[in-house]
Structure 1
Amino acid sequence: MSTTMAEQAGFEAGAESGPHTDESPQDDEPLSAELRAERAARARVAAARLAAEGVEGVILSWVDNAGLARVKTVPVRRLEQAAAWGVGAAPCFDVFLVDDSITTSRHIGGPVGDLRLIPDLRRLTRLAAQPGWAWAPADRYAQDGTVHPGCQRRFAQRMIRSAALRGLELRAGIEIEWVVALADAPGQPPVYPTHGPAYGLHRLVDLSDYLRDLLHAFDEQGLTVLQLHPEYAPGQFELSLAPQGPLGAADTTVLARQTIRAVGLRHGLRTSYAPAIEPDGVGNGGHLHLSLWREGRNLAQGGPGPYGLTGEAESFLAGVLAELPALLALGAPSPASYLRLVPQHWAGAFQCWGMENREAALRLIPGPPGEGAASANAELKCFDATANPYLLIGGVLAAGLAGVDARRALPAEVPGDPAALPQGEIPRLPGSLAESVAEYRTSGVLREALGDPLYEAVLAVRQGEIELFAGHTPQELAAATRWRY
């Protein structure tokens, strides 16, 4: 369930989260000697500052195609070398499954080869909840300095550049929902630390020290919190952060989730972002809020389209809506995702849109009258936190830009609960990962945007997890994935 970006005072000019805005994304030219020297010089200064602040190690993370954050670390004194030449990591990580078994694909897989993890120093952050550590997201390069074609973060950057070539900019934020339980053995059913009512003050009181420490950690790390509150399910909370450029939003999602987990451990709590903690519960979503901008103007208001959408904004959203069945392979990529993605759970299980309609996959949010045009945005409700945020944002950009190029129009609005209409009148989104993968296979938009190596690696991981969990009951599926995310 979600909080609107309008309520969060979000999508206005200048509302980026602190210093973490998107600079012009780097191009895909090979790393030159000059660029390596520049990176080394910047890292040398950064490492000296971090060491003076008591940092001893730097985490370099990336997110794999199963949606899990993987990591290598270096001592802070090695940051200069890592920034220039990278840290080794095998390409087979692109075909890891959620249980750490390994599949293969046509282009990526097997024991041969090596890549280099290059930290993005623009996001280098001292971690408030992990004393002595700093973090930076990593881009992945081949040994010769060329960009790895399977790098999900660079895929997102390519799509940002594609939008920029059209004079368009996306601002985005991913809601973070999670459940905390007492830190018992992972194989045991979750024991929740609070049993107050949904959205209740009772829950806030029970865990007020934990939530206060979260706010402090976010502030120390320069993340702008808009809202933090108890959610619907037992032990569930939701965080909303200030919107950013799309790359910044994806990076922030990784950092914020790591921070939540670290603070929880200090309070004896285990954290789960899985879409299904209990097989019949509402589960954790990862809703994507977005707005399209041109030359400082929010294109979601002031136009001739529905609720003031400009033609470009309508076409962008229409492109995303049309591609949603295939996009679920990126945004709801676990077999467990489909335990959550059911009607009348506010999960967005129908391929439709509506103004402030929480049962539609695409919820249009015009913002309160008088607040200003900047707050208008759209929410995609059908995604969850098993998604790699770079794949998710890059895929949505690709679909939206295809809609802009084709001048798509939105279909008729669904103003009420689509489940209450005659069956088949409003199309359901895929009800299983196998169904979404079938749609993904037919998507020329996603294949072209991702490129064959990354497209095929994603497909291999999805097929691998379909086979891995074949025959599992909902209870077994929820239990198998509950503590992996």
Structure 2
Amino acid sequence: MDSTERERAGSQARQHAARLTAKDIHGVALTWVDNAGMTRVKAVPTTHLAHAAQWGVGMSPVFDVFLSDDSSVTSTHIGGPVGDLRLIPDLDRLTVLAAQPGWAWAPADRHEQDGTPYAACQRQFARRMTARAAAQDIRLLMGFETEWTVTTRSADGPGPRVPDSAEGPAYGMTRLVGMSGYLRDVLEALAAQDVDVLQIHPEYTTGQFEVSVAPAEPVHAADLTVLVRETVRAVSLHHGLTASFAPVTAAGSVGNGAHLHFSLWRDGKNLCRGGDGPHGMSRTCEAFLAGALDELPALLAIGAPLPASYLRLRPNQWAGPYQCWGVENREAALRFVPGPPLSPDAANAELKCFDAAANPYLLTGAVIAAGLQGLDRGRTLPAPVTGNPADTNATRLPDSLPAALEHFARSSLLRAELGEPLFASLLAVRQGETDLARDRSPQALADALHNRY
């Protein structure tokens, strides 16, 4: 950032600060997401927002090798107590937090002390991949489903329990009635933050809910999933609840996913329909989806990043544990959604095998990288699976983090696109999570994560 850019950023931030102060906003939370999928934060008083926009806020790079329990490992390029980075808020995403009175929020990019982009900044990786797609005249729209489970403290013990009002049948109106005030407040807070909610409903597991928001360009989509989760968390606290986005909260139950929907666009046309490829998709869409499908075993190390993720990734739970695709097939890892014939915006693809412990910036960027490789290589999709993949010879995706990590370590694509500092730190963190989970029972894995995500 040169002197002209600094002055422009400072001027913009001063205008924002004046607006925030007039609304009685006194603090701004600046967030980024580390390789363990934790949303980390540094906050500044509103009066210091201009300084933060011009010069950044200091934060150690060591958080890129933190694990889910806040212990740390080390890697070839990142690790140890030495070094500092600058968090630069993205003021275009500055948002007043409706469920946290007196606070605003902005996602941050990370830079070196001299202002150059930090090589392991996950958000800037997502931006690079988005630009790579744009260079091929492809605009991507993406959106995450957000699933979470609510619990409260039990009166007769220390463990969390699902409140009576959140019990009831899967997708049942009973649960919506019981939690209607809570879900109303979630909708109200998101609307106040200009988040376009498409739907909200009770999910399969007792105490589980889901909210889906309108698609956006990839970096914004990742920003939105961070904002949505933290808004749900804040509203939950106001209701005496804990919201957990962990892959599983109870071993043996259906877990919390973070399904990624996306569509490809060119010249205002949705490339997921109106073409001569399978089920009406364009050949560009087919090649992109084929590239993502090919790379899924390695992508799992990014999108299903914890040993506990594989407690969720089980057959017959609509988690997408098979490396196959199908039209509206909720057991396939890649679900193609043609949409209603008269709704051109509805056609999209969904990757179902990911969960909310994933860093959304890494995930959006890595999926784009895989899709573009499929496009470069002219890949085509295999035949779709039309029934339950468990009843066919469909290939099972890796069923453990170490198995996924083997594919990740061998992925020349992800190593090249992530860059060595980010790739090596990711590898170290995933190996650290594997070691951390060793000899723990499934329920112990779930319990350790309940209040972490």
TM range (shorter): over 0.9
Q: Which amino acid is the alignment partner of residue 453 of structure 1?
A: P
| Residues in 2 aligned to 1:128 and 1:189: alpha-carbon distance in whole angstroms | 27
Q: Which of the numbers 19, 27, 40 marks the counterpart of 1:57?
A: 27
1:12 alignment counterpart: none
Q: Which amino acid aligns with 1:80?
A: A
1:265 aligns to what?
237
1:285 pairs with one of 236, 257, 267: 257
Q: Name which of 376, 384, 399 aligns with 1:405.
A: 376
Residue identity matched to 1:42: Q
Structure 1 residue 243, shift from structure 2 partner: 0.7
The 5 Å alignment of 1:229-268 reads 229-268=201-240
Q: Which residue of 2 aligns with 1:431?
A: 399
User: Residues 164-183 of structure 1: CA distance to partner in whole angstroms, max 9, x if unpaired?
Assistant: 11111110100000000114
Matches within 5 A, 1:178-197: 178-183=148-153, 188-193=159-164, 194-197=166-169
Instruction: Give per-residue Cα distances to partners, 1:195-220, cap 9 Å, x unaligned.
Output: 21111111111111111111110111
From 378, 391, 405, the equivalent of 2:362 is: 391
Q: Deviations over 1:347-398 (max 9, x none)?
A: 0000000000000000000002223x22100000000000000000000000
Tell me: higher relative CO, structure 1 or 2? Use CA pairs within 8 A at least 6 residues apart: 1
CA RMSD in angstroms, aligned pairs only: 1.1
2:426 to 447, 458, 464: 458
Answer yes or no: is the 8 Å Cα contact 1:226–1:242 preserved in 2. Answer: yes
Q: 2: CA distance between counterparts of 1:309 and 1:328?
A: 25
The corresponding residue for 2:441 is 473
Q: Any gaps of 5 or more consecutive residues in structure 2?
A: none
Q: Aligned letter for 1:389? A: P
Q: For the Cα contact (< 8 Å) 1:192–1:234, is it kept in 2? A: no
Q: Residue 179 of structure 1 aligns to a residue in which SS?
A: strand
Indicate the SS of the match to 2:345.
helix
**How far apart are the structure 1 equivalents of 2:158 and 2:42?**
27
Give, in angstroms, the shift of residue 184 of structure 1: 5.4
Structure 1: give runs of 5+ residues left out of the alignment: 1-30
Contact 1:316 1:400 in 2 (8 A): yes
User: What whole-Å deviation, never above 9, does each CA across 1:25-69 have from its counterpart, x for those lacking one?
Assistant: xxxxxx111111111000000000000001000000000000000
2:388 maps to: 417
Q: Cα distance, 1:189 vs. partner? A: 4.1
Closer, same or farther: CA 150–184 of 1 in aligned 2, 3 Å: farther
Deviations 1:440-465 (A, max 9, x none): 01111111110000000110100000
- State which of 142, 156, 175 in structure 2 corresponds to 1:172: 142
Moved segments of 4+, more than 6 Å: none
C-alpha distance in 2, partners of 1:131/1:109? 36
Alignment match of 2:113 (pick from 119, 143, 151): 143
State the distance in 2 between where 1:417 and 1:187 align: 40
Greater shift in the superposed pair: 72-81 or 31-40: 31-40
Correspondence 1:300 to 2:268 = no
Following superposition, the deviation at residue 192 of structure 1 comes to: 3.1
User: Percent identity over the alignment?
Assistant: 59
**How many residues of Structure 1 are paired with residues of Structure 2 in the alignment?**
451
Counterpart contact for 2:319–2:333, Cα < 8 Å: yes
- What amino acid is aligned across from residue 100 of structure 2 in structure 1? Q
